[in-house]
Amino acid sequence: MLPLIVAEAHEDTLVVTTNGDKATATTIARADFWTHIAEQVSALGVATRIEMHEPDGRVLADILDPPPPEPDTPGDDDTDSTDDGAEEFGLVELTGEGFTPGEEILVGLLIRHASADAGGRTRVLIDPGELDIDELPEPVEVVLTGRISRSVTIRPLT
């Protein structure tokens, strides 16, 4: 059974309990919800069901995975912590900022650019045959999008 974190909303505050243990209930500001949840899910170390009980009776639920464990690094302070041998295997590292701690980040390969019409809409048709990375127009770009924060980072794949 998955651990359960329940947040009961009361105007601008939330009362958060884990696995129904009212003795360890924590009251937090609504604005701190995702940071608190990320810390809790990280501490639990396993996929966790999250429920938000709103005053109007709505219940919003999701299952969040903990972030991957930090890689073991040698204690040598002179070693560059970003040098993990990725380049040796032809891997490219892309980074982004502004995401909510613990949130799922979508990683997408941009295959085409489009423009919005006067109403702010766009329509794109995708030919699955275009999805060969060697056939994409230069520069190939990658988009990182936070599901919760909606933060977006676009980086060239170089």
Tokens matching residue 87: 């380049």
- In this predicted model, what pLDDT tens digit does every residue of 78-94 receive, in sequence order? 444 455 555 666 777 88
Q: Measure the CA–CA gap between 157 and 94, rounded to whole angstroms.
A: 8
- Please name each of the domains of the chain with its CATH number: 4-64 (3.40.1170), 94-117+124-156 (no CATH)
Cβ neighbors of 95 (< 8 A, separation 6 or more) are 153, 155
Q: Compute, in degrees rounded to 10, the torsion defined by CA atoms 119, 121, 125, 131.
A: 140
- Peptide bond connecting 137 to the previous residue in cis, omega within 30 degrees of 0: no
In the chain, % of residues over pLDDT 90: 25
Cα separation, 60 vs 78, whole angstroms: 47
> Alpha helix (H) ranges present in the chain?
33-44
What's the pLDDT at 84?
Answer: 58
Q: Which of these ranges, 20-29, 57-66, 92-101, 133-142, has the smallest mean pLDDT?
A: 133-142
Q: What is the pTM of this model?
A: 0.53
Mean pLDDT rounded to a whole number for the chain: 82
- What pLDDT digit, counting tens, does each position of 19-49 carry? 999 898 999 999 889 889 888 988 898 989 9
* Phi-psi domain of 50 (left: phi exceeds 0; alpha: psi -120 through 50; beta: other): beta
